[in-house]
Amino acid sequence: MDKSIIIIGGGPAGYTAAIRAAQLGAKVTLVEKDELGGTCLNRGCIPTKALYRTAEIVNTLRNVDQFGIRVEGYGIDVNKIQERKRTIVKQLVSGIQQLLKANKVEVVKGRAQFKNESTVTVIKDDGSEEELRGNDIIIASGSKPMLPPIPGANLEGIMLSDDILDFTEVPKSLAVIGGGVIGMEFAAIFNALGTKVTVVEYMPSILPMADSDIIKRFTAIQKKKGMEIFASTKVIGIEKSEYEYILNCETKKSTTKIAAEKVLLSVGRVPLIEELNLQAAGIGFDRKGVEVDSNFRTNVKGIYAIGDINGKAMLAHAAAHQGIKAAEHIVIGRESDDKSVVPSCIFTFPEIASVGITEEMAKEQGINYKMGKFLFGANGKALTLGEPEGMVKVISKARDEVEGEKIEEIIGIHIMGPHASDIIHEGTLVVSTGLRVEDVIETMHAHPTLAEAFSEAVMAIKGQSIHQVNRG
């Protein structure tokens, strides 16, 4: 094998592509300007889930008396919380370093930019430069938090998602601008830690890409937990007083002011393109990211773009999946149709997870669909966990007909409830393989488990749910 590959970026897309290409026999050089693991491991998925686990335990302690346990008192040690978070991140970064070394991937520390279509210049911390050439180049430089054009958004002390991860004390109040996934996860964490949280969302609802049934219930639950949510609300300016920030907001009907000790800007992420000098290689891109085909090739032969940089799905697992596909296309010519079914998980209280299309999408696409629901309040395992809130919603469409009976294919699964992020993988397998309602009904689910709720929701499509009254 004489194939040499240069990979720019050591996040989930980059390091996964590097390992897979090396497994296939390629000579791989990976360039990373910061820490291996990228945003996900160092400033995203992993550190936030470490904080989420702390918040989850606090929620349990707050309701521990229902389990027959008495706790005289507890406190929050922010230094210990941060120490635990750093330890987990350090352990995983070290693991990636060892994996790359074991697979004989050369790691070069520095900032990469294109010199031409076959050459990358690496600018190192000491100012020295090194030129790298390869048969193929994979761009996996990731993304960064977006700074919205709000007057006052750059005031000292206003935080982006990277900043809030390193909080040194639990604020008394927090205003979150942006009710998307990142904003709602931090809102949930700090709400659990005792902060008065206010979320301001420009769209008509928080988590606008999620199924509306799920979000209506979720919004009500958050308000019961003391969270304030202002949807269809635009922040038109931020001011700083001596002790707090003031958000000047407007709706279609009125204006309002929101005061908070701390402010988190969480309005999305944008691809990290600026410092790559893509023009030198003639690589096509726009504000959404680098343009790629179904095999993640750019318009320039031998150059690929994977992960957040191409803007297709800004999720770590999607990035890693693309890394494998790109590596296999380069080394062994394996084609990809780029039709991967991508699950989405939101770590709030309760969790939300989904795969496939929503009911709104089914309506927009003119699909003749059916729907089944099952509430976790009727699931034995959820009740024993003390987490009965939420439901499973399954959407199907008629695929074919056998002996006069329509066969329903499952096309969407939406879960809000305990361990939704774990249950969704059965749904992902079902949607990605085109399984039918009948296939799931015929599959035995263990009892007592949360996954039974998924089975019951599928059965409800046929009016066969056992543990709830079926509705016509």
Say whether pLDDT at 338 is over 70. no
Say whether pLDDT at 400 is over 70. no
SS3 451: helix
Q: Report which secondary-structure segment, H or E, holds 129.
A: strand 129-133
Q: Report which secondary-structure segment, H or E, holds 380.
A: helix 380-385
DSSP helix, strand, coil percent of the chain (3-state; round to 5):
35, 25, 40
Residue of 425, 445, 447, 467 with catalytic role: 447
Single pTM value for the model: 0.94
Confidence of residue 404 (pLDDT cuts 50, 70, 90): low
User: What pLDDT sits at residue 244?
Assistant: 95
Say whether pLDDT at 403 is over 90. no
Say whether pLDDT at 29 is over 70. yes
Range 168-196 average pLDDT: 97
Give me the chain's average pLDDT, please: 94
Per-residue pLDDT tens over the stretch 124-167:
988 899 999 999 999 999 999 999 999 999 999 999 999 999 99
What would be the CATH architecture of the domain defined by 350-461?
Answer: 2-Layer Sandwich (3.30)
User: What pLDDT sits at residue 340?
Assistant: 79
Range 316-321 average pLDDT: 96
Confidence of residue 460 (pLDDT cuts 50, 70, 90): very high
Say whether pLDDT at 465 is over 90. yes
List the domain boundaries for the chain.
4-145+270-332, 161-267, 350-461
Over pLDDT 70: what percentage of the chain?
A: 98
Q: Are 374 and 318 in contact (CB under 8 A)?
A: no
Q: Are strands 262-265 and 173-177 parallel, antiparallel or unpaired?
A: parallel
User: What pLDDT sits at residue 398?
Assistant: 81
Can you spell out the DSSP letters for 298-342? -SSTTEEE-GGGG-S---HHHHHHHHHHHHHHHHH----------
Per-residue pLDDT tens over the stretch 184-243:
999 999 999 999 999 999 999 999 999 999 999 999 999 999 999 999 999 999 999 989
User: What pLDDT sits at residue 432?
Assistant: 94
Confidence of residue 401 (pLDDT cuts 50, 70, 90): low
User: What pLDDT sits at residue 1?
Assistant: 47
Estimate to the nearest angstrom the gap between the alpha carbon of 341 and the chain centroid.
Answer: 14
Confidence of residue 3 (pLDDT cuts 50, 70, 90): confident
User: What pLDDT sits at residue 472?
Assistant: 62
Confidence of residue 420 (pLDDT cuts 50, 70, 90): very high
Q: Give me the CATH topology for the region 161-267.
A: FAD/NAD(P)-binding domain (3.50.50)
Per-residue pLDDT tens over the stretch 73-132:
889 999 999 999 999 999 999 999 999 999 999 999 999 999 999 999 999 988 899 999
Q: Are 148 and 177 in contact (CB under 8 A)?
A: yes
d(CA 154, CA 13): 31
Q: Are 63 and 387 in contact (CB under 8 A)?
A: no
In the CATH hierarchy, which top-level class contains the domain 4-145+270-332?
alpha beta
Range 66-72 average pLDDT: 91
**DSSP assignment letter at 132:** E
- For the four alpha carbons of 335, 337, 338 and 344, in that order, the dihedral sign comes to negative
| Catalytic site includes residue 445 | no
d(CA 420, CA 407): 27
SS3 391: strand
Estimate to the nearest angstrom the gap between the alpha carbon of 365 and the chain centroid.
Answer: 25
Over pLDDT 90: what percentage of the chain?
A: 92
Confidence of residue 405 (pLDDT cuts 50, 70, 90): low
d(CA 112, CA 39): 17
User: What pLDDT sits at residue 352?
Assistant: 98
User: What pLDDT sits at residue 73?
Assistant: 85
Q: Do domains 4-145+270-332 and 161-267 have the same CATH topology?
A: yes
